[in-house]
Structure 1
């Protein structure tokens, strides 16, 4: 191995790590920028139900109103408006860890009962 091939290898490795670091920091910067520009205090998608590959039904909170909308490939249609009393948000227990072994046992029991 001669000196020029070793120097070329080192140069390529340095350039690779510089491009990798630049990609990492630019991605972080873009994510931070998009998070700031997409922040809305008065609008929030509460729930989404997929009806087909390109059609969804969503419950959206706009200020203090809840709207049920249909989202298609090219259109968005308001179906109805819900009052705060009519909308019952789902109870998610994000703080409670899921015990995988218990859930797996439930699935196995259902599978065994089908036989």
Structure 2
């Protein structure tokens, strides 16, 4: 009978440890979820109030881009490379043909699936 109690107690202790570990894991995941949402919303709000907007980006190679950037009321063309950013010229905003399509206008509104599909399309076949 004593042996049975020892086995029962050890199993109860193991179950209690497992349950405690599961509760701690759920708490950590919950804290991580809410802190990530908080930081994401904070960054989104901060970018929305910015005086700097990237109007368009053209990829030249894997690490080189040409971007049209609006800073305040002026529009500039810049070259963005791996280790540097170079000023190309100032543009007249009236001469630009900006996409008015809301899907291209607001890159943040793209779904995760659309973004992943873009990366799959750009990835070279092995």
* Offset, 1:66: 1.4
Give unmatched runs, 5+ long, in structure 1. Answer: 95-115
Match of 1:20 among 29, 39, 44: 29
Computed over aligned residues only, the root mean square deviation of the Cα atoms, in angstroms, reads 1.8
TM superposition outliers: structure 1 runs of 4+ over 3 Å: 36-41
1:44 aligns to 2:37 (yes or no): no
Match of 1:30 among 32, 35, 39: 39
Q: What residue in structure 1 maps to residue 74 of structure 2?
A: 65
Bigger drift between 82-91 and 27-36 goes to: 27-36
Counterparts of 1:41 and 1:21, CA distance in 2: 31
Match of 1:79 among 77, 88, 105: 88
More helix by share: 2
The answer on whether the counterparts of 1:66 and 1:87 sit within 8 Å (CA) in structure 2 is no
1:22-64 deviation line (CA, Å, top 9, x unaligned):
1111111221232344344421000001111111000111122
Instruction: State the aligned residue count.
Output: 94
Counterparts of 1:15 and 1:91, CA distance in 2: 48
1:60-87 deviation line (CA, Å, top 9, x unaligned):
1112221111001111111111112211
Tell me the TM-score normalised to structure 1 length.
0.72
Give unmatched runs, 5+ long, in structure 2. Answer: 1-7, 104-126
